[in-house]
Amino acid sequence: SPRLVVAVDGPSGSGKSSVSKEVARRLGAAYLDTGAMYRAVAWHCANSQVDLTDPEAVLAAAQGIELVISVDPDAERVVVGTEDITQAIREPEVTAVVSTVATNMPVRQLLVERQRQMMDTHRRIVAEGRDITTVVAPDADARVLLTASAEARMARRGIQLGGTVGEKDLKEQISGRDAKDSTVVDFMTPADGVGLVDSTELDLEQTVTAMLGEIERQA
Ligand code: C5P
């Protein structure tokens, strides 16, 4: 099958990860979760006494870690050094501090470089994040922004967290993270040439179908 690079961006709770993973499976492509890389740096800082309020310390930590991330959509795995942190990076403690890492511009440059390298080594790949359509891979074969209404995104995150978080807290967590993240990259409006898929009224299967249609149209 021919070379195919697909870039997907969107806010938290848009269904980006589950949709991109399934799209990668159907296209026989690799899957890169770039958010996992920011989460891995945040996890590492939080677990090795790196001061998250010190931008230079965070950059040094990001430069120093040995981060291995699998690109198999059926076997997600994130490893730092010898430690498997696949589950740990999803914990609320990591989510709460990840924007601090993501708003550190030198850290972004470093991770963007690594993401481009990983994308270069795979002929077919779906990469997902906040700045893939605009910064990491603006010349991808297909570029899609996945959105959903704030209500739908909140409801999905609520379900993911198992209903243990109150609605008000959830709202603050999600909108707070999106607000911080969007100070460095715009993932709410599609850039020129980027297709828009709105998943508000769609289930997973319907969103995958819409995404595949948009990729076909562009690529
Ligand atoms: O997608 P996910 O919610 O796992 O991303 C975690 C965090 O990583 C985001 O809140 C954002 O701060 C950061 N991120 C980013 N750029 C990307 C992907 C993720 O800044 N391309």
Q: Please indicate if the annotation marks 182 as binding a ligand.
A: no
Whole-angstrom Cα distance, residue 219 to residue 215? 6
Q: Which of 10-14, 78-82, 179-183 has the highest mean pLDDT?
A: 78-82
43 Cβ below 6 A of ligand 1: no
Per-residue confidence band for 121, with pLDDT thresholds at 50, 70 and 90? very high
Mean pLDDT of 62-78: 97
What 3-state DSSP class applies to 197?
A: strand
Question: 84 near 129, Cβ under 8 Å?
Answer: no
The ipTM estimated for the assembled molecules is: 0.99
Bridge partners (DSSP) listed for residue 30:
125
> Of 210 and 178, which is predicted with more confidence?
210
Average pLDDT of the segment spanning 119-133: 97
Which uninterrupted H or E stretch holds 84?
strand 83-84
Q: Given a cut of 90, is residue 160 above it in pLDDT? A: no
* Position in ligand 1 atom list of the atom nearest CA 128: 21
Q: Is the CB of 34 under 6 A from ligand 1?
A: yes
Query: Ligand 1: does its nearest atom lie under 6 Å from the Cβ of 153?
Result: no
Q: Is 195 annotated as a binding residue?
A: no
Percent of the chain with pLDDT over 70: 97
Lowest mean pLDDT among 71-85, 115-129, 166-180: 166-180
DSSP per position, 115-163: HHHHHHT-SEEEEEESSIIIII-TT-SEEEEEE--HHHHHHHHHHHTTT
Nearby residues of 213 by Cβ (< 8 Å), 6 or more positions away:
none
**pLDDT reading at 163 higher than 90:** no
Q: Determine the residue of 16, 20, 34, 119 to mutate for testing ligand 1's pocket, defined as the one with the most ligand atoms within 8 A of the Cβ atom.
A: 34
Q: Which atom of ligand 1 is nearest to the CA of 136?
A: 21
The reported pLDDT for the residue numbered 145 is 98
**Alpha-carbon distance 7 to 193, whole Å?**
12
Q: Report d(CA 216, CA 213) in Å as an integer.
A: 5
